[in-house]
Amino acid sequence: MARLIAALLRHGEYQQLPDTPSALQPFPLTRPGAEQAERSVTLIQGSLETFKWSLHPVIDSSRLLRGWQTADVLRKGLQIGSHDRLQIESFDVLAERSLGSAANLTLQQIESVLRADPRFTSPPRGWKSDSHYRLPLQGAESLMDAGERVAEHIQRRLLELQTQVEVDTVKLFVGHGAAFRHAAHRLGVLPFERIAAVSMYHCRPVFLERLSDGSWQHLTGDWKIRSGGDSFDD
């Protein structure tokens, strides 16, 4: 049976608003972010050649601009070679955790909104990195919620490939760091206590294999060890 491998790739650096935890920001890659995406072409190509993997011709991408731009760099760069012409399919479900009606407000503004609403209490300290905390606002998710929907998408897409491929195949997923980390936990390859200890490098893939019994294993690609100064990982 052919092996099925998901390559999780966090988008490149982008023009992020300061002190704003919402990941639903519509801004493009910075120049360094575009260069990170270009370097990822070499990294992915090297892995494909080293392990003799085939690349599936459809890249699944977050619909947010920075995700799509990163995927587009891959689409153009990885076409230089023997691969089929690549294409991008964008999905809402690959977005980062939503803060709902507080989207794109600063931390101070969000906490002010909650203090001013008599229905709510102030959020706990460090709430933005709490895997289970969900803002009590319409449309908000927890990080674990986001990880679950991303994991379900990855599972479904690889299941679809089971009857379509005859050689060991990698499918690329371009999205967001925190959602991917929580998805990796849902898939059983990242223990819960490590979620907060690691991040993802921009545009450096983490390869996860779906085994024949439905379980997953981490094949290659490093998680980034978080430092105390790391910002919100989206």
Task: Provide the domain limits for residue 220.
Answer: 4-99+141-225
Coil, helix or strand at residue 8? strand
Q: Which helix (H) or strand (E) holds 101?
A: none
- Is 119 a member of any domain? no
For residues 182 and 195, give the distance between their C-alpha atoms in angstroms, rounded to a whole number. 7
The label of the residue with tokens 């897409």 reads 157
Q: Distances in Å between the alpha carbon of 11 and those of 38, 84, 124, 204?
A: 11, 23, 29, 9
- Is 145 a member of any domain? yes
- Is 216 a member of any domain? yes
For residues 167 and 8, give the distance between their C-alpha atoms in angstroms, rounded to a whole number. 20
Provide the pLDDT for residue 233: 63
The tens place of each residue's pLDDT in the chain, 234 residues long, gives: 899 999 999 999 999 999 998 889 999 999 999 999 999 999 999 999 999 999 999 999 999 999 999 999 999 999 755 556 899 999 999 999 999 999 999 999 999 999 999 999 989 999 999 999 999 999 999 999 999 999 999 999 999 999 899 999 999 999 999 999 999 999 999 999 999 999 999 999 999 999 999 999 999 999 999 876 444 567
For residues 214 and 8, give the distance between their C-alpha atoms in angstroms, rounded to a whole number. 18
Q: Is 56:172 a contact under the CB 8 Å cutoff?
A: yes
- Is 65 a member of any domain? yes
pTM of the entire structure? 0.95
Largest CA distance in the chain: 61
Q: Is 102:91 a contact under the CB 8 Å cutoff?
A: no
The pair of three-digit structure tokens given for residue 180, joined into one six-digit string: 């991917």
Provide the pLDDT for residue 177: 96
Phi, psi for residue 181 in degrees, rounded to 5:
-65, -45
Please tell me what DSSP assigns to residue 29.
Answer: B
Indicate the number of domains in the chain.
1
For residues 80 and 101, give the distance between their C-alpha atoms in angstroms, rounded to a whole number. 43
Provide the pLDDT for residue 227: 77
Provide the pLDDT for residue 228: 60
Provide the pLDDT for residue 83: 53
Provide the pLDDT for residue 207: 98
Provide the pLDDT for residue 47: 96
- Is 120 a member of any domain? no
CATH of the domain at 195: 3.40.50.1240
Q: Which helix (H) or strand (E) holds 148?
A: helix 143-161
Q: What is the pLDDT of residues 1-53, one digit of tens each?
A: 899 999 999 999 999 999 998 889 999 999 999 999 999 999 999 999 999 99
Provide the pLDDT for residue 81: 57
- Is 233 a member of any domain? no
CB atoms within 10 A of CB 148: 17
Coil, helix or strand at residue 218? strand
- Dihedral angle sign, alpha carbons of residues 136, 139, 140, 142: positive
Provide the pLDDT for residue 84: 64
Q: Which amino acid is at 111?
A: E
